[in-house]
Structure 1
């Protein structure tokens, strides 16, 4: 998912991600994505939404100026309360 620079900050990215997470919650356990490594704003955005980075995949993403390293991230669903 990419948001055009002119559309950043009013919540467009958050609305898109929230909709994707809501759809995933109905059918999936964990959700994984990859951010471009080195883009601090993208990583911070994902972390604010509960994603955790777990490594780096060298040259895994196509970028306008060649390949870029991917920062794989995952978000796990909340744990269910223990049964009494």
Structure 2
């Protein structure tokens, strides 16, 4: 088994438009992707990092709500 070493790789970052990002998950606050290409081994390794909102982690999805329910969302919060 051969290991892809970072020092032997060309590093590329992927920065798409927010609306066109195929890796973006619902509720993502930010994300970025890196690809490491080892020309000698002809291998590509990809890393995708993403920060999700706590609301999504708690099972709360913005797409499923209507504007009328907004008051109920904030009832228990200290604003």
Give the TM-score taking structure 2 as reference length: 0.28
Give the TM-score taking structure 1 as reference length: 0.27
* Bigger-Rg structure (1/2): 2
